[in-house]
Amino acid sequence: MGKLKQGVTVAVFSSTVLSTVVVAEQLTVSVTAAQGKALADIVVFAEPLDGPAPASQLTAPLLIAQKGKAFAPYISVIQRDAPVRFVNQDGITHHIYSISANNRFSFRIAAGKAQQVIAGAGEKDELATVAMGCNIHDWMSGYMLVLDTPYYGKTDSQGQVALTVAQPGRYRLNIWHPQLQTPDHRMRQELSVTGKMNISFQLADPLAALPEQTGEDDFEFLEDY
Amino acid sequence: MKYTWLPLIALVAPPVQAVEADLAGILDLRYSVTDGIDSYVNGGLGKFRYNDGDQLSIAQAGLAGKLVWDNNLSLHAVANGYLDGVEDGLGLTEVYLKYRTLPSAGGLRQGLRLGIFYPAISLENNATAWSTPNTLTPSTMNSWVGEELRSTGLEYTAEWLGRFSGRPYDLKLQGSVFVRNDPAGAELSWHGWMQSSRQTLLHEKLPVQNMPARQTVLSKQAAFSDPFHEDDDRPGYTLSGEVKFPRKGLLQLGWFDNRAIPYQQTNGQYGWRTRFGWAGFRWKLPGRFSLSGQVMQGDTLMQKPSREDVVNNDYRSGWLALSWSAKPHRVTGRVEEFSVTDNDETWGDNNDEYGKAFTLAYRYQLQKNWFLLSEFNWLQSTRGGRMYENQPVDLVERQLQFASRYYF
């Protein structure tokens, strides 16, 4: 439920911000598995090829909760330089880290506390995945995708997401998921966007198994003996 | 993934060395009815921590405090208290500094512990203050760990987390070097295996049973054994490995050797050369069941200054537990077999023992922090040395326990 809600929020947000722009083109993207089943929680983003992407308009931080000893949502997507807030909703401390080889980050968040960071204050890159874990609860696994474009969303339960771009023109449309079994865990296509368009992606191979976000034991007061 | 992992995140928080204090605890209030003989805790040869009869007790009041710094360093102290009508006590059971890195890109995480800690053997005692979450009483094997084993030293841990490289298992290798555990093996020899949730506090001395050899060859032995004594300044070591399949189970294998010089004695405390190997597993089964078990086998040797054997024992103990859980219920059944084989010719010190035990425990979670437990213990043992105390050589001891456990 959390994943779905977040995905919808981002999609709605994109359209809200960009509805102030007079000319707006709408892309409706559908993602299906090989057998045609709709796939939810797939990141979809469009990179403009004719010019620079608009800067992030986000003011409220993106929330990544630690809830039930799991990242909620499992996948977050955000534009570079936007704020991200890690909120520990559990009654225990978490020790969040990224295993990024060039920039490991880590911080402890006590029960009920939060920690805010800025996404992508470093060098620009066409696509950056932050794989996150918790050094106390080894099964916790989460991803944050940091993009250089404000045109992104996650597919809903119907496997669909609507992206509204400011300008007609050429775009590279991508889908990404950490369990997508393709190079870079993504698929892409270039297209000229004019008016309303429906684009679909169909996976050749099934998604790899999602990591199970549960602990070893139902007893909450275990120690590291 | 072929992405270059460029710097992505800048922490907004100022780079201060924050320290976080954390306190956890357990309060175990217990009513027990014991059908047995005087407890080993008092120097008897009874296998339970309670004497014959019924007893209302604070079976464990444990506090585990830690200070955690942002740079992966933490200071841990664990204290336990007992008010049980047998041997009341309050004191520390563990104190150590711990350092643990983040996993590397390849999934390697390393850790160091420096101080006084339990050798990482028990698969049962993994809750706050070394308590056993599923039962009120650990197996005979781990009861002995709680009584006579404690490492004062340095422990190194290397873990390879499988998910970083797509492997379905985690691997852990551990090694430690320790001192101050030279008399370990004395109590195991002299009262045999027992089944008890009483951990020895770091300052405590343990009564030595009154066998006839105390008047002769063991006349220099102090009346109380100090398990955490150093005789010879010769460190011992442990080596162990574990393979863990997340959410499925684990396998462990280890070796312990205190390397005590067996013919040395200071202040009435002999060195006991105690070595053992252990192996264990825990595995999830279909239908909410899980199976776990451990075995330990080893020997211990204590000699006269002339290097003649006084105590030369082999010992082994193993347990197998089947547990079923559907919140708020958990039912655990455990069977055990144990023995001590006395290989020396010392008169008046027969340590031979053979026994079996069965435990049935039920846990009910009343609230998030509050558990009600009941447990039945049955322990049959044959021990020739009990005739020194005019007790039956063949004995069945039974115990029924009811507890309220509050964890925080």
Q: Are B6 and A122 in contact (CB < 8 Å)?
A: yes
Chain B residues lying within 8 Å of A117, measured CB to CB: 9-12
Q: What is the pLDDT of residue A103?
A: 58
Kindly state whether A135 is in contact with chain B, defined as any CB-CB distance less than 8 angstroms: yes
Hey, how many other C-beta atoms are within 10 angstroms of the C-beta on B364? 14
Least confident range from A186-195, B152-161, B295-304: namely A186-195
Across-strand partners of A84? A62, A117
DSSP H helices, chain A, are: 2-18
Q: Does residue B67 have a pLDDT over 50?
A: yes
Interchain contact B126–A (C-beta under 8 A): yes
Domains defined along chain A, listed by start:
2-202 (2.60.40.420)
- What pLDDT score does A217 carry? 74
Residue type, B405: R
Contact partners, residue A74, CB within 8 Å, separation at least 6: A3, A41, A141, A142, A143, A210, A213
Helix (H, G, I), strand (E, B) or coil at B166: coil
Within a 10 A sphere around the Cβ of A194, how many other Cβ atoms?
9
User: Which two structure tokens, joined as six digits, stand for B246?
Assistant: 């997340």
The per-residue pLDDT for B9 is 42
Compute the average pLDDT of residues B292-306: 97
Helices (H) and strands (E) in chain B, counts: 2, 21
Strand, coil or helix: what is B245?
A: strand
Instruction: Give me the domains of chain B, ranges plus CATH numbers.
Output: 20-407 (2.40.160.10)
**Region of A152 on the Ramachandran plot (φ > 0 left; ψ -120 to 50 alpha; else beta):** beta
The answer to whether residues B275 and B298 touch, using CB atoms and an 8 Å cutoff, is yes
Spatial CB neighbours of B360, under 8 Å, sequence gap ≥ 6: B331, B332, B333, B334, B375, B376
* Order of all β-strands in the sheet with A43-48: A152-154, A43-48, A169-176, A186-193
DSSP string, A130-160: EEEEESSSTT-EEEEEEES-S-EEE--TTSE
CB A56 within 8 A of CB A151: no
Distance between A119 CA and the closest CA of chain B, angstroms: 5
Contact B114, B154 (CB under 8 A): yes
> For the segment B135-156, what is each residue's pLDDT rounded down to a tens digit?
999 999 999 999 999 999 999 9
**ipTM of predicted complex:** 0.90
pLDDT, average across residues B254-268 = 96
The nearest CA of chain A is from the CA of B120 a distance in Å of 6
C-alpha–C-alpha distance, residues A15 and B231, integer Å: 76
Retrieve residue B73's tokens.
């360093």
What's the rounded mean pLDDT across residues B57-62?
98
Q: Mean per-residue pLDDT for B369-382?
A: 98
Chain A contact for B328 (CB, 8 A cutoff)? no
- Determine the distance in angstroms separating the CA of B73 from the nearest CA of chain A, rounded to an integer: 12
Q: What is the pLDDT of residue A21?
A: 44
Ordered alpha helix ranges (H), B50-185: 140-148
CB-side neighbour CA atoms (13 Å) of B386: 21
CA distance B17 to B84: 43
- What are residue B308's phi and psi, to 5 degrees? -90, 145
Series of mean pLDDT values for 10-residue runs along chain A (225 residues):
33 41 78 93 95 83 94 93 92 88 77 87 67 92 91 96 92 95 92 92 92 80 90
Cα–Cα distance between B108 and A101 in angstroms, integer?
13
Name the token pair of B366: 């009343």
**Closest Cβ–Cβ partner in A100, A107, A118 for B5:** A100
Q: Is A181 on the interface with B (CB under 8 A)?
A: no
